[in-house]
Copies of this chain bind each other. A is one copy, B any other.
């Protein structure tokens, strides 16, 4: 089995209202079964998930956090709190749970790779819906049946560095459940659910690079049964989290 991971280059700076699927489709050939991994940042920009910091009024809590966290702009902290349902940790960096259930630093809010100095990018409101819209648009534009993953780089407990993960998934499985299948010696595999959409996002990041000049990557050759897929399958419910 062989997988190709190919970056889509030449995509211009994305602005609210832009048709990301068209920007990709004009620059690469897609085949049925391809999986397109798109960086959250361009999806969010196209969807207008931008905030002008000059319009944000920080609360006393945000002002207090700004005195003792690495992020020292109280307006950014206010947006992080607005985009969170729970603060998980507040030492140096705010680790929060977002409405989607993601646990990540600063609610995924970022001000790198944004044109305007006073603008930040929020995560898409519903990354699965974003992925599904892109998938539908590729079918419309090209007549191709492609899977779509909307990805972002998240930190991880216990391991250094950030790694790309799948926030939204459409048309490709988020996880593959090997439980009950026999291993090479006929014994049943016990606890083997593979987070394949996260692994595809990770593979894509290797060609994305961090400056976002390659915001979309095509994975070709990954074969699995078709599945609607959902980023929600990758969010571990609290009651199943043996690590918490």
Write the residues of chain A forming the contact surface with B, with a CB cutoff of 8 angstroms. 1-7, 13, 70, 88-89, 91-93, 95, 102-103, 105, 111-115, 117, 153, 155-165, 175, 178, 181-185, 187, 189-196, 198-200, 202-203, 205-207, 209-214, 222, 233-236, 240-244
Contacts and interface: CB of A to CB of B under 8 A. Distances in A.
Per assembly, the copies of the chain total: 2
The interface centre, meaning the residue of A156, A159, A185, A235 with most chain B CB atoms within 10 A of its CB, is A159
A100 to B, nearest CB: 12
Given A184-B213, A192-B162, A199-B163, A207 B3 contact: yes
A117 B186 CA distance: 11
Given A113-B183, A196-B206, A211-B183, A235 B159 contact: yes
Given A2-B6, A211-B184, A243-B89, A159 B195 contact: yes
Contacts of A194: 153, 161-163, 205, 210
A59 to B, nearest CB: 22
A209 B178 CA distance: 10
A225 to B, nearest CB: 14
Contacts of A92: 242
A162 B4 contact: no
B183 A212 contact: yes
Contacts of A205: 194, 199
A191 B194 CA distance: 28
B157 A236 contact: yes
Contacts of A243: 88-89, 95, 103, 155-158
A161 B177 CA distance: 9
Contacts of A70: 191
A190 B113 CA distance: 11
Contact of A157 (B3, B157, B165): B157
Contact of A210 (B88, B115, B178): B178
Given A159-B198, A198-B202, A185 B7 contact: no
